[in-house]
Amino acid sequence: MSVTVARLAAALLLASLLAGCGESPQPTRAAPPPPSVTVAKPVARTIVDQDEYVGRFLAVDAVEIRARVSGYLESVHFTDGQTVKKGDLLFTIDRRPYQTTLDQIRANLAQARANLAFTEADLARAQQLVRDKTITQQTFDQRTQSKRVAEASVAANEAMVRQAELDFAFTELRAPVDGRIGDRRVSPGNLVTGGTGGNTTLLATIMSIDPIRFEFTFDEASYLRYERFAKAGNDAAAPVVATPVRLRLIGERGFDHAGQIDFIDNAISQSSGTIRGRAVFENHAALFTPGMFGRVQVPGSLPYQALLIPDVAIGTEQARKFVYAVDAEDVARQKYVTLGQIQDGLRVIKDGLAAEDRVIVNGLTMVRPGTKVAPQEAPPPRTPVSKAE
């Protein structure tokens, strides 16, 4: 019995050994390498927040060209849309009727002066005769009166000559300001109604182009904030006036046009709760046109130190914004941040980040909180060079 049990145990041992020799060992799976990411430290700069407003350009001078005298339009001396200078001849009204009237009134003036000379000589003779009792005092008084009437006639005719000369000069319409003129509204040969009434004929319009104004509105809270900034800067002038601003046109990427605020209205609108502001810009190249839209940047804070990172490093978790910062053990840590504006392509971080943090700026999708990473330093961003206007 014992021999049988021993043989059975030996057979089972031999079978297990044979089975073990036929199985291959299980390979050990290697851990994946940590994801490669690019990191960069925040850039420290002095920042001024910028408020943006939409507005429209306005001409400094906008003039309607209307005739002061009536008559038939004789000629036009400009090309539609050209730039004109102050004093340039624009229109000519038929001058012949006014020349005839002027000549007639000048003749009347000459006649009145001749009559005055005669009455003065007659009165001079009467002074000696009345002393000699040759004529009566009544006759002397009559001659004195005649002289006074003649003087008044001369004065009246001189005034009529000056008016006729004005009317004659008004037949030539000249540009009152520098600017760009629109198209002519009346062709030569048409009757032009002049004067100072409301039914005068509009001949053309002139808009000044350099400098040019930009008008926009902002809310009451912004107005109070700008006023506090002005007082903090010991500015005794009106709030915001002379504040430098920058402007961007439709289709432009940057705010490359420099100007300054030259006017703030004296009352806040009760209907909208906004106040009107105005900036002035140089326009040597005639790029800006009255009626054109644009966006203007107004300094919205006092200068302060801030940290900036590329905007692509910002992640979103529902309503919160975060970044991944790599610690000394190359482990990604999630940090919630408070965002500011974009300055020169970098996002301002107002809170939640330290200057020594290494922020992941590339490879954000491969990282989770607590992930070990292989960081590579990114080159520092270039300091932008401001454009000279």
Exposure string of 242-280, with b = 16+ CB inside 10 Å and e = fewer, is: ebebbbbeeeeeebebbbebbebeeeeeeeeebbbbbbb
- Per the omega criterion (within 30 degrees of 0), is the bond before 211 cis? yes
What confidence category does residue 67 fall into, taking pLDDT thresholds of 50, 70 and 90? Answer: very high
Q: Is there a contact between 326 and 332 (Cβ–Cβ < 8 Å)?
A: yes
pLDDT higher than 60, residue 9: no
Q: What domains, with CATH codes, occur in the chain?
A: 37-48+304-377 (2.40.420.20), 52-60+210-299 (2.40.30.170), 95-170 (1.10.287.470)
Mean pLDDT of the chain: 85
> What pLDDT, on a 0 to 100 scale, did the predictor assign at position 258?
93
Range with the largest mean pLDDT of 87-101, 242-256, 292-306: 87-101
For the question of whether the overall pTM of this predicted structure is more than 0.75, the answer is: no
pLDDT at 34 (0 to 100): 85
- Mean pLDDT confidence for 207-221: 93
The pLDDT score that the predictor gives to residue 49 is 85
Q: Give SS3 for 159.
A: helix
The pLDDT-based confidence of 389 (bands split at 50, 70, 90) is very low
Lowest model confidence (mean pLDDT) among 60-74, 212-226, 234-248:
234-248
How confident is the model over 277-288, as a mean pLDDT? Answer: 92
Q: What is the mean pLDDT of residues 185-192?
A: 93
Given this model, what pLDDT does residue 16 score? 59
DSSP3 helix / strand / coil % (the chain, rounded to 5): 30, 35, 35
Cα distances (Å, whole numbers) of residue 209 to 45, 151, 280, 309, 372: 38, 51, 11, 41, 62
